Amino acid sequence: MEQFPGLIPYWVIMVLMMMGLYIVIAHGNLIKKIVGLNVFQVSVFLLYITMAKVEGGTAPILAEGIKLYSNPLPHVLILTAIVVGVATTALGLALVVRIHNAYGTIEDEEIDKLEDQT
Amino acid sequence: MVIAAIAIARIHDLFAVVMLTGIFSLLGAAAYVVMDAVDVAFTEAAVGAGASTVLMLGTLALTTSKERPAPAKNVISALIVVVFTGVVLIYGTLDMPIYGDPMAPIHHHVADHYLGKSSAEVGLPNVVTSVLASYRSYDTLGETFVIFTAAAGVLAILGQSRLPRRHHDQEDSEKGMVSSPEKSKGAST
């Protein structure tokens, strides 16, 4: 535990991640589930960016007189992931609209009930 | 950010939830700036806080903006799963290098090469751009394919509203048709 204060950023991120997971599991509303996925996603991005930070470093843009930069690789990976994340969100929301058209509700349980009736 | 996340979990008015998601993304972007990831912060503020909020508002307009409270049975089992997973994850962080440690292994694999050689090999001052567009351009190509597939998927799902449905009439299907170009535009930003 000697590294205790240095790990707090990771712990905050873990708490955020678990909030996202909780929203996905506990709520029956499909839009709420997608929002939960988004929260989870942003926390994962934060985890990567946290790992890229170097104490005393600056943004990875080369300039005269600066010796220490943060790690650019996680930034690149997350840049890709953000855009892909929005694409998947759009697809999920399209499915929600389609489900609403078909069942008239976006609550998980009501959809189950309607399925049982038929 | 934690407060915003708690509010998202508790509020049942979906419009407020969507707005809070936008705030959550924006706070995330601020955190990226603090941690030196300026390019990521740009993207998050534009795409995460902007485009996805617009997409969600569009979905709310097409569906409904009220949520029923979660059943108690769900809440308890979800809490158990979440607490267990959280404890395991926090146990996992105990082995991680401390925040901002310049000697962490992540900073000494290919990052040194990118930072030291990219201005000679690619010629751009912004290392993130040269890694994205040059060293990892296949990644970016793959990302473009993913976005194309998602846009095609959205069009395929929403373009089919003329199929027989159970509860709704022609009016809703027309709304579905109207929304599809807007969605695909958002997906390709």
**Which CATH class, in words, describes the domain spanning A4-117?**
mainly alpha
Q: Is the pLDDT of residue B20 over 50?
A: yes
- Mean pLDDT throughout B104-116? 75
What is the pLDDT averaged over residues B75-90?
A: 86
The answer to whether the beta carbons of residues B5 and B21 sit under 8 Å apart is: no
User: What distance in Å separates the CA atoms of residue A82 and residue A100, rounded to the nearest whole number?
Assistant: 27
Q: What are the C-alpha distances in Å from A15 to residues A49, A62, B14, B81, B164?
A: 16, 35, 23, 13, 44
pLDDT at B167 over 80: no
B137-158 vs A72-103: helix crossing angle, rounded to 10: 10
The ranges assigned to domains in chain A are 4-117
Residues A13-45 pLDDT 10s: 888 888 888 888 888 888 888 888 998 998 899
pLDDT band, residue B139 (cuts 50/70/90)? confident
Q: ipTM, 2 decimals?
A: 0.82
pLDDT tens across A65-108, in order?
777 777 888 888 888 888 888 899 999 988 888 888 888 878 87
Neighbours of B11 (CB within 10 A): 15
Best mutation target among B52, B129, B162, B175 (most A Cβ atoms within 10 Å) is B52
B40 to A21: CB separation less than 8 angstroms, yes or no: no
A27: phi > 0 → left, psi -120 to 50 → alpha, else beta; which?
beta
Out of B47, B62, B79, closest to residue A97 by CB:
B62
Chain A residue closest in CA terms to B1: A16
